[in-house]
Amino acid sequence: MASKAGHVKTCENCARGKIRCIRAPESPICDRCRRLEKDCYFRPARARYNPAKKGTRVEALEAKVDELLARVGNQPHVTPQREVSDLPSSELDPHSNQDKPQDVIDRGVVSYGDAVKILDSFRDTLMPYFPFVLIPPETTLDQLRAEKPFLLLAVLKVCTYKNEPVQKVLEETFQSAVADRMIFSHSPSMDVLQGLLVALAWIHHQAQHLRFSSYLHLAWSVAGDLRLDRVSETQSFYSRMDLSKISPDHDSSKQSKNEGRRALVGCYMLSSCRSTLFQKDRMMTRLSYVEKSAFELLANAETASDRCLIHLVKLQQIFERIDDAVVTSTSPVLEADMNGFQSEINEYKTTLPATFSENSLLQFNLHTLQLFLCQACLFDKHDTASLAASAMPRSNADAGLPPHLRSGGQSLDLTPFQVELLTRGLTGAKKFFDYFFKYSPETYGTISHTQWLQTGFNLVLSCKLAVTGAKYAPRSPHVGALCSALDMPQILRGTSLRLQWLSKDRVKSDEKSQFKHFYELWVARILEWFEQKYHLTHSEDRAPPPAEVAYGEASSSGLRYSSSLQDTTLMGGGYGVVQGNQSDMPGSWPDFLWDISTEDILGGYMGLLDMPESTLQHGYEMQLP
């Protein structure tokens, strides 16, 4: 309680000593300070809180607010001269919507101007190689930010592959967005599905591919939630657990329907291509829905690419039937079946219009399909118990054994059908790489995941075909000539040079996360296997190395070389078919080809992180069987 003079009743000395302060009513000092002859000081009392003033202040504030509201209400409404979507990001008020989360452009990870350039670049360079997600040219960046922010984030992520620090930030943001939309809130939409497809289509630009299966499963789940895996007549039909029928969406536009059709075909192509080349289970079994969606796109095509999707689906179905003939059959693949597949491929080529010869997706699939048939017949492991015995005499110890387990000591013995497939494969491999190396180096960074995967498969298979042809060349000069024409060492050299070109302009962060680090090591792994199997010869009459030519100019073999990198040695010498003693040849069937399988090598191609850390170190010597 304060005194009448506005001071507290206890002096500072008594307060410090925690002693009761006593003083006479008219005395300026207390009795204790007088006795001890100390200065007696009374601190001024603090002002007491007066609750009566609160109401007055609140009333004043309310009156001020009422006055401001009255002024705003009396002002005329001014129509803006430009739409918000036409304003650059610098003129947009960042505080106009406090509830809207900031995207990577607001956070400054990617500037507004760079985002506009990236979107245009995606339309011009990447989108033609993945026609399952189309962004119309009239769609602006602001529209995409407002309507499909997840798709925009995926586009920014895949287009910044040359700047690894920025792409790393975008990848982390993308993962968080996937978790928010698919796990925490579970809001499946066409925006999420298209964003996942774009991320999957160019996932090979990142060192880590372990998320491919997860993203693909999520994409299929979104397609199922949106009922895209049903024919259009039943997409809006009621569930068996519902009490009433869900009315169909008659207001759905042609553009939105085509978006769903493209997305479904894209999910199918990504999963089917990977499952056939890696011999994995397929996620989509109702192919009639996919085929019907492709036919509906053909009938309601908005772009030229919509008309080619049905051909991609048809070719992929041939892939799957060949794979089924190998995987699900308990008996060896019959020669008649393989001839039937070859006839079907030849007939289908004749049905393609001439305009599709320039479609890279169709060309990649046609070349790979021809080589995939050779892989299925020659190198896939079959149940060989009922395989017809060759006409060549063999020892009793080999009787009844599978061909790839029979003893060595004699030249490679192939049946006429196997020789025919070998020649087809060598010819097809040369045609593919002649076509592949016609692309400019910039193009290799834009091709989609399916084309990238098919290129790796064709490279591995071509190495196997070259090794087999070299072993069989003493019995067939024609096969030896095909091996020389293929020139597999030069193809490996060209592949290595193109990988170097892809990584030369990259802004790098961590050495072990670089694009170059993983793919160049994968090529080195193939090279080491090839060196051990495709025997080195120093024949004096072997063909001279190709003359040095300028970049972009085709050499006599059809390949294109870079003059600045022409002197790069790949294997330390020339390679050719072996013309040595036949006693050094393996047995009746090339058992050396089973030392490392296509799946093993392709596992490194798309998942090198699964390899032990020691194998990624420079100078590591891989122990092959």
Distance CA(232)–CA(255), nearest Å, equals 14
Position with higher pLDDT, 138 vs 620: 138
Residue where the block lists tokens 């892809």: 502
Lookup: tokens for 267: 């999910």
Does the reported pTM lie above 0.75?
no
If you average pLDDT over residues 197-220, what whole number do you get? 84
Lookup: tokens for 308: 């080619």
275-312 per-position pLDDT tens digit: 898 888 787 767 778 899 999 999 998 998 999 999 99
Residue 605 has pLDDT above 60, yes or no: no
If you average pLDDT over residues 126-133, what whole number do you get? 94
53-101 per-position pLDDT tens digit: 555 777 788 788 887 777 766 655 544 444 434 444 444 444 444 456 6
∠460-463-464 over CA atoms, to 5°? 90
Q: Provide the b/e sequence for 449-477 (b: ≥16 CB within 10 Å).
A: bbbbbbbbbbbbbbbbbbbbbbbbbbebe
Are residues 425 and 465 in contact, defined by beta-carbon separation less than 8 angstroms? yes
Q: Which of 85-94, 105-114, 177-186, 504-513 has the lowest mean pLDDT?
A: 85-94
Q: What is the mean pLDDT of the chain?
A: 73
Sequence-distant (6+) residues with CB within 8 A of 436 are: 455
Q: Provide the b/e sequence for 30-59 (b: ≥16 CB within 10 Å).
A: bebbeeeeeebebeeeeeeeeeeeeeeeee
Domain boundaries, the chain: 1-48, 103-236+252-264, 434-443+467-625
311-346 per-position pLDDT tens digit: 999 999 999 999 888 766 555 556 778 888 989 999
- Tell which CATH classification among 1.10.260, 1.10.3470, 4.10.240, 2.40.160 matches the domain 1-48: 4.10.240
Residue 448 has pLDDT above 50, yes or no: yes
Lookup: tokens for 130: 């993945």
Are residues 495 and 437 in contact, defined by beta-carbon separation less than 8 angstroms? no
Residue 133 has pLDDT above 90, yes or no: yes
Are residues 243 and 279 in contact, defined by beta-carbon separation less than 8 angstroms? no
Q: 527, 529, 525, 520: which is closest to 502 by C-alpha?
A: 520
40-57 per-position pLDDT tens digit: 988 887 766 565 555 577
Residue 26 has pLDDT above 80, yes or no: yes
**pLDDT at residue number 471:** 86
- Kindly report the number of other CB atoms within 10 A of residue 275's CB atom: 17
Task: Give me the percent of the chain exceeding a pLDDT of 90.
Answer: 29
Q: 221, 328, 329: which is closest to 283 by C-alpha?
A: 221
**pLDDT at residue number 377:** 84
Q: 260, 138, 237, 139: which is closest to 189 by C-alpha?
A: 260
Enumerate the β-bridge partners of residue 560: 554
